[in-house]
Amino acid sequence: MCFSAEANFVAAGAIGLVGLATLRKVDSVPAVLFAATPLLVALHQFTEGFVWLGLDGRIRLEARDHFVFLFVLYAQGVLPLLMPLAVYLMEPPGRRRLLIGGLTAIGGALCAYTLYGVIAYPTTARVEHHSIVYDNAATSWLSVAAAYVPATCGALVLSSHRVVMWFGILNFVGVAATLVVRGYAFTSVGCLYAAIVSVLIFWQFHRGYIDLRNPNSRALAA
Query: How do residues 181-211 score in pLDDT, each as one tens digit?
Result: 555 545 555 555 656 666 778 878 877 767 6
Amino acid, res. 190? G
> Would 47 be classed as within a structural domain?
yes
The confidence band for 4, taking pLDDT boundaries of 50, 70 and 90, is confident
- Tell whether 97 is covered by a domain: yes
- Measured CA distances, 139 to 51, 145, 183 (Å): 19, 9, 14
Q: What is the pLDDT of residue 68?
A: 96
Percent of the chain clearing pLDDT 90 (strictly above)? 46
Q: Is the pLDDT of residue 86 over 90?
A: yes
Burial class (CB in 10 A: 0-12, 13-18, 19+), 213: exposed
Position 137 in a domain:
yes
Bin 129: left if φ > 0, else alpha if -120 < ψ < 50, else beta.
left
Q: Is residue 103 part of a domain?
A: yes
Residues linked to residue 77 through DSSP beta bridges, in sequence order: none
Q: CA-CA distance, 72 to 29, in Å (whole number)?
A: 28
Q: Which one has a higher pLDDT value, 76 or 221?
A: 76
Residue type, 129: H
Give the amino acid at 195: A
In angstroms, the CA 172 to CA 155 distance is 11
Distance in angstroms (rounded) separating the CA atoms of residues 144 and 139: 6
Answer whether residue 222 is part of any domain: no
What percent of the chain stands above pLDDT 70? 83
What pLDDT, in 10s, does the model give residues 140-156?
887 888 888 889 889 99
Residue range of the domain that includes 62: 5-217
Domains in the chain: how many in total?
Answer: 1
Task: In whole angstroms, give the CA distance from residue 148 to residue 111.
Answer: 10
Whether residue 178 is predicted with pLDDT greater than 60 in this model: the reply is yes
| Cα angle 192, 148, 157; round to 5 | 85
